[in-house]
Structure formats: structure tokens, C-alpha cells
């Protein structure tokens, strides 16, 4: 017995049920075989044989072709995505659903690259750092963000009053102008 040269109607229906599913959603190979018209007693075996590339290469090839067509049909590209979001926004505005319209417009802006979402996760505690490490970290932060901040460091002068403790630390403060 050789490999058939073309698909039968039942094989094509089986492949379509595998790719697109049925009324209730996706189908297993056995369910697709029954829906395509194969015997209920051999449905699982038939489904497995039909999806085996050595036994049924034409069916497997047809399933692949159907999957590619489905992916092309529902492919997401930039222009289509932004146009669909604009359509959703317009429908929401017509219905008076302003929250949905704002969300659609925000998502359109995100798709266009107008919004940048950044998350910074820091590990460690400030309490675990020494005074020198804290000062170095503050200086690094100020240096890193200097282009966006107008920073003028001003040291806080110690008062003339004497403290009872000999190891009094001088506090420094930083004034940040925004």
C-alpha cells in the first residue's frame, strides 16, 4: 500500500476540525476523527494515524497549511493594531464609555511607542549600608540623574554648640531643585 496522492473529504474535514476546532472549541484527535465521520470504535487510533507524518503525510501537510493560513489571517501588525484600537476608541466614545475610550487611546499610544514603562527593582536595605556607602550611593544617583535634575548640593554647617559626645557626626543635606 503506497501513500495516497490526494486527500479524501474525511481527511480534509479531520484536518479542519484539528486546526479550527468544533462548536465547543478545540478538539482532540479522537473527537476530530469522530466529527469527520470516522468510526467511534477506532477514532483515537485513526486520529493518531492521521497525524503521523509517516503514515499520512498529506494530512499532516494540510494541517500545517491550515495553521499557517490561520496565523496569517489573525496576524498582528503595527498598522492594523493601531487602526483597531482607534476603531475601539471611536465605538466607546459613541456609547459614552469614556473609560474604555481612554484605555484604547492609551494602548494606542503604547503601541506607537509614546509611553515608556520602566520598573526598577532594588535589593538591599539602606539600614544595612554604612555612612560612606550611603554617601557614595547618593552621589552616584545624583551623577546618574544630573541631566534631568538641577542639583545644587549645599552642605549643612555644624552649629557652634558643643555636644557631650566626642563622636558627633556632621550631617550633609542635598537640596534638589525641580
Alpha carbons 4 and 56: distance in angstroms, whole number:
8
- Kindly tell me if the per-residue pLDDT of 160 is higher than 90: no
Is the model's pTM score more than 0.95?
no
- Residue-wise pLDDT for 80-125, tens only, equals 777 888 888 888 889 888 888 888 888 878 877 777 777 766 666 7
Bridge partners of 176, per DSSP, are 151
51: confidence class by pLDDT, cuts 50, 70, 90: very high
Check if the beta carbon of residue 172 is closer than 8 Å to that of residue 135. Answer: yes
Per-residue pLDDT, 52: 92
Cα 153 to Cα 27, 43, 58, 160, distances in angstroms:
68, 79, 75, 22
154 closest CA partner among 144, 162, 166, 142: 142
Per-residue pLDDT, 17: 95
CA atoms within 13 A on the CB side of 61: 9
Which residues are CB-contacts of 83 (< 8 A; sequence separation ≥ 6)?
Answer: none
Specify the length of the chain in residues: 178
Count other Cβ atoms within 10 Å, centred on residue 135. 12
Which residues are CB-contacts of 120 (< 8 A; sequence separation ≥ 6)?
Answer: none
Biggest alpha carbon–alpha carbon distance for the chain: 106
- Kindly tell me if the per-residue pLDDT of 162 is higher than 60: no
DSSP state of 153: E
Amino acid at each position: 500500500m503506497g501513500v495516497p496522492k490526494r486527500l479524501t473529504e474525511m481527511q480534509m474535514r479531520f484536518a479542519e476540525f484539528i486546526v479550527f476546532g468544533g462548536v465547543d472549541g478545540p478538539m482532540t484527535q479522537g473527537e476530530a476523527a469522530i466529527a469527520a465521520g470516522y468510526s467511534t470504535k477506532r477514532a483515537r487510533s485513526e486520529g493518531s494515524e492521521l497525524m503521523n507524518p509517516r503514515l499520512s503525510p498529506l494530512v499532516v501537510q494540510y494541517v500545517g497549511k491550515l495553521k499557517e493560513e490561520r496565523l496569517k489571517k489573525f496576524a498582528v501588525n503595527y498598522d492594523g493594531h493601531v487602526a483597531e484600537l482607534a476603531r475601539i476608541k471611536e465605538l466607546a466614545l459613541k456609547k459614552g464609555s469614556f473609560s474604555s475610550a481612554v484605555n484604547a487611546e492609551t494602548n494606542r499610544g503604547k503601541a506607537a511607542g509614546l509611553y515608556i514603562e520602566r520598573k526598577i527593582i532594588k535589593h538591599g536595605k539602606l539600614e544595612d549600608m554604612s555612612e560612606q556607602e550611603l554617601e557614595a550611593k547618593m552621589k552616584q544617583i545624583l551623577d546618574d540623574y544630573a541631566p534631568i535634575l538641577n542639583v545644587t548640593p549645599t552642605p549643612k554647617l555644624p552649629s557652634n554648640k558643643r555636644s557631650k559626645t566626642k563622636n558627633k557626626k556632621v550631617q550633609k543635606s542635598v537640596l534638589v531643585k525641580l
